[in-house]
Amino acid sequence: MKTFWNMNKTQKFNSLKKDLEADVCIIGGGLTGISTGYYLSKEGKKVVILEKDNICSCTSGGSTGKVTSQHGLIYKYLYDSKGEEFARKYFEANNKAIENIEDIINEEKIDCNFEKKSAFVFAESDKDIEKIKDEVEIVNKLGKNAKFVTDIDIPIDIVGAIEFKEQAQFDIVKYTCELANKIVENGGEIFENSNAIDLEERNKKYTISTDKGSITAKDVVIATRYPIITFPGYYFLKMYQSTSYAIAFDTKTDFNTNGIFINSEVPQISIRSVKHNDENLLLVVGYDYKTGSEIQGNPFDYLEARIKRMYPNAEKVISWTAEDCISLDKIPYIGEFSNIMNNIYVATGFNKWGITSSNVAANIITDKIMGRKNEYEEIFKSSRLEMIKNKDEMMNMIKEAGDSIVLKRIKDKETPTCTHLGCKLSWNQIENTWDCPCHGSRFTEDGEVLESPALKNLD
């Protein structure tokens, strides 16, 4: 997938061509997998990373590049649903991730356009103003000096916003590629175009098979956004996939701001500046919807119309889409893949805030593999399944999957079904793709896999 971040990327790694052994095999070469590999390689572990496409070519390469602990209006929700201590730990973990990323950039001398900015969630209508004020109150109670403001430096009329200072933005692909180079320097190996298709346990180690060879390792990290193993983790009952649309614009004004922005309303729009050929472009991401569901209107047209109201001379440079996993309780799943599978770890359900979440995950999983306790591991525990709190949404997901797999297949045998768990696919007329409404797999018009968890092409 070509995005703003990787349209000039030239770094390449070879495909796996033979069987290898490693201490740790990481499946997935996005920011989470590469960050985890970086930390583990510094610990002296022999790391092998398998990426089915090119590193940073999927969710990470399509992200906003915002480095922030301001995950929308999350803290009032966490405070009310989980308690003050839980909310504080979530906040601390993501703040620590910002510090970790900046430390890595400084230590490794990575040139990735890292810039400190304030982060804003703004409301455009009175109906959300109390939500903004409530969030300010809770965040300040948790220890952050959040501020309520009524003005931001982009031309949008707002009624109020919450400001987090000392947040940041960067070029995610440049950052990730440099971490990949460090892994190789530390003795690790990275293989692109090497699709993991099977995993089995043999003699207290795991063998991960691809179509070109296999990796045998004691520890395995599944960092594929949506886990490619279905059972026994049952993540398909605990989260769904969401697609967002993105466009980079030349506003003809050398667009630059003191902040990174996202609104509180639906449809959501996220705005920031990005450097390109010594100029600043505007990046807008949003209009997200559950993958495979019916799309109302054209998201690209909506985003373009919004930006042209702000900057009438703006011209589109490049556009793309990106998927992410949404957990039912809004908290990522990080840690052991399952209580009955030892030494397999997972990081998923980042709810579109994957940059700090990926660093949190990399540290938790590294600590687990190294036999250390991580102070934040319990709040992200991946084996949790809160049936009662999430029962309505969970029942909707079960009903939708059952309806798709059984009833619709009987009624409409002409429509293709997903090679993951057999759900009926939906046609996406915006991108000309087949999308799975159950678990978010996507296929080209000709049936080739675009997005996991499906591993096989359509028949």
Here the CATH number for the domain that contains residue 224 is 3.50.50.60
Distances (CA, A) of 135 to 20, 71, 82, 92, 139: 50, 11, 15, 16, 6
Q: What is the pLDDT of residues 81-93, one digit of tens each?
A: 999 999 999 999 9
Q: Are residues 233 and 179 in the same domain?
A: yes
- pLDDT at 379 > cutoff 80: yes
More confident residue, 293 or 399: 293
pLDDT given for residue 407 in this prediction: 47
CA distances for 187 relative to 28, 44, 361, angstroms:
18, 8, 22
The terminus-to-terminus CA distance of the chain in angstroms comes to 23
Q: Are strands 160-169 and 115-123 parallel, antiparallel or unpaired?
A: antiparallel
Cα separation, 57 vs 55, in Å, equals 5
Judge whether residue 387 has pLDDT over 80: no
Q: Is residue 440 one of the residues assigned to a domain? A: yes
Same domain for 227 and 334? yes
The residue among 415, 448, 339, 344 whose CA lies nearest residue 384 is 339
Q: How far apart are CA 285 and CA 247, in angstroms?
A: 7
Residue 205 domain flag:
yes
CB 346 within 8 A of CB 222: yes
Q: Examine residue 189 and state whether it is found in any structural domain, yes or no.
A: yes
- Its pTM surpasses 0.75: yes
Claim to verify: residue 338 and residue 442 sit in the same structural domain: no
Structure tokens at 333: 């799943």
pLDDT band at 404; cut points 50, 70, 90 = low
Q: Summarize pLDDT for 234-281 with one digit per residue, the tens.
A: 788 889 999 999 999 999 988 999 999 999 999 999 999 999 988 899
- Which residues, in sequence order, are CB contacts of 68 under 8 Å at separation 6+? 94, 98, 119, 164, 167, 168, 260, 353, 355, 356
Q: What is the per-residue pLDDT for 278?
A: 83
The pLDDT of 408-417, averaged and rounded, is: 64
Tens of pLDDT along 204-230?
Answer: 899 999 988 999 999 999 999 999 887
Question: What is the C-alpha to C-alpha distance for residues 61 and 259, in angstroms, rounded to an integer?
Answer: 21
Q: At residue 283, does pLDDT exceed 70?
A: yes
Split at pLDDT 50, 70, 90, the class of 399 is low
Domain end point (choices 338, 369, 400): 369
What is the count of structural domains for the chain?
2
Q: Are residues 233 and 187 located together in one domain of the fold?
A: yes
Residues 50-96 have pLDDT tens digits of: 999 999 998 999 999 999 999 999 999 999 999 999 999 999 999 99
Residue 335 domain flag: yes
Which residue segment(s) compose the domain that 180 sits in? 20-62+173-237+330-369
Judge whether 85 lies within some domain.
no
Assess whether 447 and 407 both reside in one domain.
yes
Q: What is the pLDDT of residues 298-310, one digit of tens each?
A: 999 999 999 999 9
Per-residue confidence (pLDDT) for residue 388, from 0 to 100: 42
The predicted model gives 175-183 an average pLDDT of 97
What residues have CB less than 8 Å from 324, skipping those under 6 apart?
A: 59, 225, 241, 242, 244, 350, 351, 352, 354
Percent of the chain with pLDDT over 70: 94
Residue 415 has pLDDT above 90, yes or no: no
Q: The domain spanning residue 417 has which CATH number?
A: 2.102.10.10
Is residue 346 within 8 A of residue 335, CB to CB? The reply is yes
Residue 457 lies in a domain: no
Residue 334 lies in a domain: yes
Token couple for 297: 């209107």
Q: Is residue 350 part of a domain?
A: yes
